[in-house]
Amino acid sequence: MTRAEPVPPAFVRDEDTTAPTVGRAAHGFRASLDPANPLRVPSVVADAGQLGPYWVAAAALTGLSHLHLGTTGQDRYSFHADASTQGVAVTVADGLGSRPRTAQLGADTLARTLSQALAATPGTAFGSDPRPAVAAAVAIANERLCDTADPRGPENLASVFAAARLPESGGPLILARVGDCSAFGLGPDGFFPIFGEKDGALNEPGAYLPADDPLTGLELRTVPAGGCRALVLATDGLAEDLRGSPAIRDWLAARWERPCHTMWMLNSLRYRRQGSHDDRTALVVWFPPFE
Amino acid sequence: MAQFAETESHPVFPVYLLIDVSYSMAGAPIAAVNASLPGLKHVIDEDPMVGELARVCILSFAEDARIELPLADLQYAELPRLESRGNTNFAAAFALARTEIEAGIRALGTGTRFYRPVVFFMSDGMHNAVEDWRDPLRALIDRNWPFFPEIVAFGFGDADAEALGTIASRYAFRANGEDTAAQVQEIMSTLVRSIQRTSGSMGSGGQGELVVDVEPSKYTPLPILEVK
């Protein structure tokens, strides 16, 4: 006897939103839960609050594609303040889509370990050349991924990240990434990109962790103190929307003009853009003094 | 370096169908191609992920190559009706594919991001024109060309396994069976499912993968060969 195909409700309620729709938004997306994957992550995760001298708001939303196909989201974010060094670090990570059951575990491990390692590094270690200190933190995170990975398929945890060690004592903001997560500054004139993006096809294989040499794909940037009002770390789904859509940029610049709370953060990411089906994760840090 | 687009654009998955319409395709095979095209349009209408991402271009080749449908959103396009003609010239097919891939993607507008184009090549025969087809193929798959596609090759009838394996960059298959119309029908169904699954894969991660959804009993996979 075969079981009948389930029929979804004709109408499913949700809160109204003023978030924009850009392009032709097709109807017919389903939302299916991932019942057979005990490793799935919640489809909505959000936080907001004081983190040391900074205000942080973050949200990770499972994308339309994963919901439609009934697979788990693969983005994670993390923040950490170290009691001994007083260092604060934040990370967003994205498990690679080709590993649909386990990549979120890699993203989670990577985000948490890297935030901890960056925050635990004394501020003096970043000095005039932060690369060795950042590289050491990335190596720790890579090692943790290698330890966690199944030796028969270490790529099952394949993940990419963007991370920041937040500024202290007038020092610069230090940013690092491996892969296609991104970072943007938000100033009076709106967003500006911190990492460049290559032209060409979107789905080009890039660097990821775990890797034999985790520093091969490591990119590093610094932003001088006072260089932006807020920092946005974004996984590629959101970063592509920021780069490709002026309407989404305007919307999010207005939404994140001032520090916000959890629900505001979630609603900020509820826009609809044609072809934007990937998970969306943003971690926004507002720097003092606050208006 | 791509930074911020100044006009609205959205990511596109460009799909190219490169279909042999030489005389050997006359009758039931070409009728099966024409009968299958509405199925592709139906998927684009019905599956929101495919509908928002995929753009399709249909090219035919015989002794020359022709644009049957420029890269388009099939929701708004009228489907062409393919007709058989002439001998088989792979060189013309690959040269036109290269021109149309670049033209189609550039026509999407400055700043439009695209996923790696995919060419689905289908033939029932062998190249029988004078010019060599390997040079145009090399130009098409040149990794220094930013628009280079992945090529999936399907063959049936008199198609040559070595040629199909050389043309394909990722996957090559020979359809099993003797009924050419049934083979074409199966290839077209595979192609539609592959576009659907690949669109889903691309939507769920920046490193989305080409997924070719073949029914194993209906195909013989062929080895991928370097262009000599």
| pTM higher than 0.95 | no
Residue A96: predicted pLDDT: 84
Residue B107 has pLDDT above 60, yes or no: yes
Q: How far is CA B120 from CA A123, B127, B145, B159, in A?
A: 55, 17, 19, 15
Q: Residues A230, A235, A237, A239: is their CA dihedral positive or negative?
A: positive
* A57 within 8 A of A273, measured Cβ to Cβ: no
Tally the residues of chain A: 291
The average confidence (pLDDT) of chain B is: 92
Query: Which CATH class for the A34-286 domain?
Result: alpha beta
Amino acid A77: pLDDT: 98
Chain A residue closest in CA terms to B117: A201
pLDDT at A179: 93
The minimal CB distance from A205 to the residues B4, B8, B207 is found for: B207
Tens-place pLDDT, residues B128-163: 999 999 999 999 999 999 999 999 999 999 999 999
Give the confidence band of B208 by pLDDT, cuts at 50, 70, 90: low
- Cβ distance A201 to B146 less than 8 Å, yes or no, reads yes
Query: Per-residue confidence of chain A (291 residues) as pLDDT tens digits?
Result: 567 778 889 889 999 999 999 999 998 898 998 888 888 899 999 999 999 999 999 999 999 999 998 888 999 999 999 999 999 999 999 998 666 677 889 999 999 999 999 999 999 999 889 999 999 999 999 999 998 877 766 667 889 999 999 988 788 999 999 999 999 999 999 999 999 887 778 877 689 999 999 999 999 999 998 889 999 999 999 999 999 999 999 999 999 999 999 999 999 999 999 999 999 999 999 999 987
Per-residue tokens: B105: 């993607």
Across the interface, whether the CB atoms of B49 and A22 are under 8 A apart is answered: no
A200 interface with B at CB cutoff 8 Å: yes
Contact B48 A199 (CB under 8 A): no
B163 shares contact with chain A (CB less than 8 Å) = no
**Contact residues on chain B for A198, CB-CB shorter than 8 A:** 1-2
Which pLDDT score, from 0 to 100, does residue A87 have? Answer: 95
Cis peptide before A289 (omega within 30 of 0): yes
Query: Measured between CB atoms, does A39 come within 8 Å of chain B?
Result: no
- Sign of the torsion angle spanned by Cα atoms B13, B223, B144, B151: negative
Are A224 and A171 in contact by the 8 Å Cβ rule? The answer is no
CB contact under 8 A, B48 and A243: no
Taking the Cβ of residue A272 and every Cβ of chain B, the question of whether any pair is shorter than 8 Å is answered with no
Residue in A74, A201, A277 nearest the CB of B49: A277
Per DSSP, the three-state class of B141 is: coil
Pinpoint the alpha helices (H) of chain B: 28-46, 48-53, 90-107, 134-140, 161-167, 180-203
Instruction: Map out the domains of chain B with their CATH numbers.
Output: 13-221 (3.40.50.410)
Q: How far apart are CA B162 and CA A129, in angstroms?
A: 55
* Structure tokens belonging to residue A127: 């000095």
Q: Quickly count: other Cβ atoms within 10 Å of residue B175's Cβ.
A: 24
Instruction: Output the CA–CA distances (angstroms, integers) from residue A161 to A78, A136, B1, in the order listed.
Output: 11, 15, 20
Our CA-based measurement puts residue B144 at a distance from the nearest CA of chain A, in whole angstroms, of 11
Give the pLDDT band of residue B204 (cuts 50, 70, 90): low
Three-class secondary structure of residue B25 per DSSP: helix
pLDDT digits (tens, 9 = 90+) for B35-81: 999 999 999 888 999 999 999 999 999 999 999 999 999 999 999 99
Q: What is the pLDDT of residue B203?
A: 67
Chain A, residues 122-181, CB within 8 A of chain B, namely 180
Share of chain B above pLDDT 90, in %: 83
B20 three-class SS: strand
Interchain proximity A97–B7, CB inside 8 Å:
no
Q: Where are the domains of chain A?
A: 34-286
